[in-house]
Amino acid sequence: MNYTEMLNALGHEEFFGVLAGASTSEIVVYARNQDTSIGDLFLVPSDRGGERVYLFRMTQYANVLRREEDMDPMAKNLLSMDDPFYADDFQSDQLLRLSGSLLGYSELNDAGRWVFRAPRKLPAHLSKVYKVGFGDTASIARQEECLKELLATQLGEGVFIGHLLAGERALKGVPVSIPGEFFAHHIGVFGRTGTGKSNNLMVLIESLYANNRRLNATPRNEWGSKDRLVSLFAVDPHDEFAKWKPNSRGGINRIIGAMTAAEKKELVEPFFYLSCRNEATIQSDPAIGNLGRRVRLHRRDIAPEDIISIMEFSDIMSSAAETIGDEFGEGWISAVLNGDVQPDDNLIHKASLAGLNRRLGFLAGNRSSLVPNKATYESSLADIVLALERGRVLDVDTSLMTEIEQFLLTTVVARTLFALRKALKSARDMTAFIGNGEQPGEIDRHLPMQESLKAILKERLLAERSPYLGQQGHLISINDLPAINIIVEEAPSILNPARLKFGSVFRDISRQGRKFGLGLTVVSQQVTEIDDGILSQINTEITLALGNEDERQAAVHTASNDIFPFKRELQVMGTGQAILSASYKSVPLPVQVPEFK
Partner 1 sequence: MDFDFLDRKLLDVTRDAVVSFKNAIEGARPDDKELKALCAGIKSYPHTKALPSEFSVAAVDGSGEYPVLQQDDIFLHFVIAAGAIYTTASHRQHKLSSVEPVNPIFKQFVLLSDDMARTQSSYQEYLTALTGLSLKDLATGSDYCEMSGRYGKPIRHADVRWKKVTMSKASQIATHAYLLRTVAELGMAIRMLMHKPRYLLLDTSLVYFMLGETLFLPELLKRYLITQANAQSTGVVALCKSHNIPNGDLIGRMAKDNFGYKDHWYLRLPSDALGEPIPAFLDGREIPPKLSVSYLFKFHATTFPLRIDVDADWWKSAIGGDEAREKQFFADLDFTCHEVRSFGYPYPMHAAHRSASLTKQERKALKDILVQHAQREGLMRGAVASDPEQLHMGGM
Q: Closest approach of Cβ 70 to partner 1, in Å?
A: 10
Give the span between the Cα atoms of 477 and 469, in whole angstroms.
Answer: 9
Contact 244, 404 (CB under 8 A): no
DSSP 522-539: EEES-STTS-HHHHHHEE
Give the span between the Cα atoms of 9 and 546, in whole angstroms.
Answer: 38
Chain center to CA of 67: 49
Which residues lie below 8 Å from residue 441, measured CB to CB, with a gap of 6+? 423, 427, 431, 432, 433, 434, 435, 458
Number of chain positions touching partner 1 (CB under 8 A): 17
Task: Choose between 86 and 455: whose C-beta lies nearer to partner 1.
Answer: 86
Q: Closest approach of Cβ 73 to partner 1, in Å?
A: 8
Show the site string, 513-552: x = touches partner 1 by CB under 8 A, - = not.
Answer: ----------------------------------------
Q: Closest approach of Cβ 62 to partner 1, in Å?
A: 17
Chain center to CA of 427: 30
Give the span between the Cα atoms of 406 and 401, in whole angstroms.
Answer: 6
Give the span between the Cα atoms of 349 and 343, in whole angstroms.
Answer: 5
Task: Choose between 80 and 137: whose C-beta lies nearer to partner 1.
Answer: 80
Kindly state whether residue 23 participates in binding partner 1, applying the rule CB under 8 A.
Answer: no
Task: Choose between 2 and 77: whose C-beta lies nearer to partner 1.
Answer: 77
Task: Choose between 90 and 480: whose C-beta lies nearer to partner 1.
Answer: 90
Instruction: Say which amino acid occupies 216.
Output: N
Show the site string, 317-346: x = touches partner 1 by CB under 8 A, - = not.
Answer: ------------------------------
Of residues 61 through 120, those in contact with partner 1 by CB under 8 A are: 65, 67-68, 73-74, 77-78, 81-90
Beta-strand ranges (E) seen in 268-309 are 273-275, 292-294
Of residues 345 through 384, those in contact with partner 1 by CB under 8 A are: none
Q: Closest approach of Cβ 545 to partner 1, in Å?
A: 39
C-alpha closest to that of 46 among 104, 128, 117, 108: 128
Q: Closest approach of Cβ 248 to partner 1, in Å?
A: 50
Task: Choose between 72 and 110: whose C-beta lies nearer to partner 1.
Answer: 72
Q: Closest approach of Cβ 89 to partner 1, in Å?
A: 5
Task: Choose between 79 and 375: whose C-beta lies nearer to partner 1.
Answer: 79
Give the span between the Cα atoms of 427 and 429, in whole angstroms.
Answer: 6
Of residues 196 through 255, those in contact with partner 1 by CB under 8 A are: none
Beta-strand ranges (E) seen in 532-576 are 538-543
Task: Choose between 81 and 280: whose C-beta lies nearer to partner 1.
Answer: 81
Q: Closest approach of Cβ 126 to partner 1, in Å?
A: 12
Q: Closest approach of Cβ 65 to partner 1, in Å?
A: 8
Give the span between the Cα atoms of 471 and 12, in whole angstroms.
Answer: 57
Q: Closest approach of Cβ 45 to partner 1, in Å?
A: 24
* DSSP strand pairing (230-236 vs 393-397): parallel
Show the site string, 24-63: x = touches partner 1 by CB under 8 A, - = not.
Answer: ----------------------------------------
Give the span between the Cα atoms of 514 and 334, in whole angstroms.
Answer: 34
CA–CA distances in Å: residue 407 to residues 241, 242, 420 = 19, 21, 20
Task: Choose between 124 and 259: whose C-beta lies nearer to partner 1.
Answer: 124
Task: Choose between 69 and 345: whose C-beta lies nearer to partner 1.
Answer: 69
Give the span between the Cα atoms of 454 and 169, in whole angstroms.
Answer: 52
581 burial (CB, 10 Å; 0-12 / 13-18 / 19+) is buried
Site residues, partner 1 (CB under 8 A):
65, 67-68, 73-74, 77-78, 81-90
